[in-house]
Structure 1
């Protein structure tokens, strides 16, 4: 009997330590919705290009006008905002359901660790746009986002690092086949997010 209570106490202590050191309320559904938003954005961009007389899947060199570039940036920002909003809504709902605080010292450390690579990558992407190196934007966003996920693993679910490795790998591959960034972007931010989100939802629901 004492042995049973001892193991239960240890289990309880480990659970408390896990809760205090990791943000464990991330919702898998937020990943699914982020992926859907990314794929929707990629499809919208495809039709924007068609409207400009550019068939993305042609092998010809693609030259984008400043107006098209502006629209692409706007679409990217909208997709990002939708992903952040859906992530907050689903995560807040899950935290409330589990009786956990959505904001504490661990959440703060998670956001700082996650944001540093994203901010650095965002500034680097602005530099690429400034120098008209548009083909490098998609690989760069995938690589820096993957790095951010791997760094964030320390303060949240360890599974997130595998998504990060996949994003980094896609970004590196994309850097060798420039001109197909939209496709790799849809695969990374869209398809991988949806697959990861469903896996996490099933595993931690």
Structure 2
């Protein structure tokens, strides 16, 4: 058995139901999955004892999940829409502090009873930045609904714009031991102009 259990690999090869799970490490932690009913599940190596994941409704789309590359990564937004204003207000008032909380996204396949076939397999980790709310204009006589969004970044900077970091050779070698891309960073900091190769 490897990183992905054999029964999940077999399910991926055929027709399968996919369960997407979101965990936000607040106090208390928020556990949400993109489905209808609440189900017990647990992230492999994060909360191995498991917990109950709340059904967040039908999934309309997953944002592009990016990783930190060369010190730059965009933020992504996870959204819940169709919420009435009073429920949205109660939700925002009851939220624990989110800024800086770890956010994990994971997946697994579901069996014929819509239950997870394995522990949740983590596929992406980010850091919560901020919550926002928006509302579309509606014609007279129709109910107003709100959309709540959580901005999440990969990397360490919780800003609404892409974050940049200064990388040194030790930073880069911690990620990729054979990469020599940042070996001349210290010379650049001292003002030494490197000799660039001609191609």
Which protein is richer in strand relative to its size? 2
Q: Relative contact order, CA 8 A, sep 6+: which one is greater?
A: 1
Fold match by TM threshold 0.5: no
TM-score (norm 1): 0.21
Which protein is richer in helix relative to its size? 1
TM-score (norm 2): 0.21
